[in-house]
Each structure stands twice: as C-alpha cells, then as structure tokens.
Structure 1
C-alpha cells in the first residue's frame, strides 16, 4: 500500500482538490498495476503558524509523506524516475499554486502488512490480478500465489 499523508496549510485544498489529487496519484500506481484500493490518502491541515522550516514560520509549505509497502523501488534510476513522476503529478496542486513542498518515501517490508486480515498476494500472482480486478482484498489459495504465466503454462512448474 502506498499511504500518503499530506500535511498542508488550513484551507489549501477543497474537498474536490483532495479527490482530484488522490485520483491522479492512484492512477499512476494503478498503471504499475497494483490494486487501486492499496492507495490511501490522509490530508492533515496545519494551523497557521504551526509549520516551521529552518526555524522560521512557513504557512506556504506542503509535506507529502509516503509509506510504500506493496512495492519497493529497485535502484537509483527507477527511484529518481518515480520521484520525478510524482512531482509532475502533484505539480498542479503545489507548484502551480505557488506552494513550497517536499516528498519523502519510506519503504516498509511487504511481509509486515495485511489488509482485512489477508496477507497481500505476491506481485503479478493470480490472486493479485483478481484483487486488481475486484478492487478489494479477499482470501486466496496457495495456488493463487503463483505468477499468472505459470498458471497459463502449467508445464513450466514441472521443469
């Protein structure tokens, strides 16, 4: 799951802005693809004079704190590409509105996570493909942990 916590000045975003931003970011993650319900946004308003940058009040600052659990980003080239892609996606909500901002991404081990009591299935497995299609967590069998290509070509597993 990517969990996005957005710390922003009070009144910076309308309900529609929050919906639009979360939909844009969710669309990027869904293109991986991962189930859309993995993407969670929490918007937290910061009262005036409650944010300080470099020891000085900054009422024009937005902080995006992202926890990645469903996937990790392999290597510096992909990591840079991902951060730049996120900056581009959020630009209409920060840069284009004149805000200062930063994004940080933490990666949590995949095996220390569950949804509705289910351990998420492996990437590109039969179960994950079903979760993407149904857009919800549900129980799955051990066989559904296999990659789709093994199920489509069962003889591969015998090699």
Structure 2
C-alpha cells in the first residue's frame, strides 16, 4: 500500500485540488496494483509551524510516502519513480511557487494486512482479482 502524507501551508489547496492531486497520485500506481491500496492524507501546516535550520518556512510542501505493497529492486527503478513523482506533483508544488521535498520509506511486504486479509503477492490470480474488484478478499493462492 502506498501511503502519501502531504504537509502543506494552510489554504494551499482547495477540496477540488486535493481530489485531483489524490487521483493523479493514484494513477501512478493503478497500472500495477489495486487502486484502493493508495491512501492520501493532506495535513495543513499553520503559518510559523514548519522550520528548516531553525528558520520558519511558509511556502513549503513536504511529502512522505510509505511503500508496503512494492519495493524498489534497483537504484535505476527508484530514480525512474522519483523522476515520475517530481513530474506528477509539479502542478501542485513547483507550478504554484512552493518549494518541496519528499521521501519514500519501504516496509516489508509481510508486515501488513487489509481488513484482516493478507494481501496477495504481485502477479498472482488473487492480485488480479483484487485489482478487478477494487477491494480485498481472502486469498485463494499462496
């Protein structure tokens, strides 16, 4: 499951912006995993509550991503993804004059569940069913 947390200045995004941003983030994953895996949380940061090097920053967007369903097997793969994310988020950060930063944490696949189900492995019939149905269900294959 990708979990995105977007920390942004108060009032930076309308509800419509957040919806479009979340849909765009989901699309980067939807080609190879169930859409419902993608969780996005927006956190407004009040003025003078974000500091870098002891100095307040009021024009900054910080994004953290937790990847659980997949991991990067190579530096080349992670760089491709990072470049894609920078391009994807540009309309909501760069094009609006915000500075930004993001990082990705990877959690071992075996340390999560969804609604009490162990998620299926990549490329399995169970995963294909989860993608098609866009919801979790019991695994029928190991």
Does the alignment reach a TM-score above 0.5? yes
Once the two structures are superposed, what CA deviation does each residue of 1:64-108 show, in whole Å capped at 9, x if it has no partner? 000000000111111111001001000000000000000100000
Give the equivalent residue in structure 2 for 1:63. Answer: 62
Say whether 1:12 aligns with 2:15: no
- For the residues of structure 1 that align with 2:89 and 2:55, how far apart are their CA atoms? 25
SS at match of 1:20: helix
| Alpha-carbon distance between aligned partners in 2 of 1:140 and 1:61, rounded to the nearest angstrom | 42
CA root-mean-square deviation? 0.7
Deviation (angstroms), 1:41? 0.3
Aligned residues: 142
* Alpha-carbon shift at residue 53 of structure 1 (Å): 1.4
- For residues 84 and 102 of structure 2, the distance between their equivalents in structure 1, rounded to whole angstroms, comes to 12
Counterpart position of 1:83: 82
Structure number with higher helix proportion: 1
Aligned to 2:40: 41
User: How does 1:1-159 map onto structure 2 within 5 Å?
Assistant: 1-31=1-31, 33-141=32-140, 144-145=141-142
> What is the deviation of 1:25?
1.0
Q: Separation in 2 of the partners of 1:107 and 1:51?
A: 25
8 Å CA contact retained: 2:118, 2:139: no
TM-score in terms of structure 1 length: 0.88
* Distance across 2 between alignment mates of 1:114 and 1:51: 33
- SS of the aligned residue for 1:71 comes to coil
Structure 1, unmatched stretches of 5+, are 146-159
Query: Which structure 2 segments of 5+ residues have no match?
Result: none
Hey, what's the Cα distance between the residues in 2 that align with 1:111 and 1:44?
28
Q: Return the offset for 1:54.
A: 1.8
* Larger relative contact order, structure 1 or 2 (CA cutoff 8 Å, min sep 6): 2
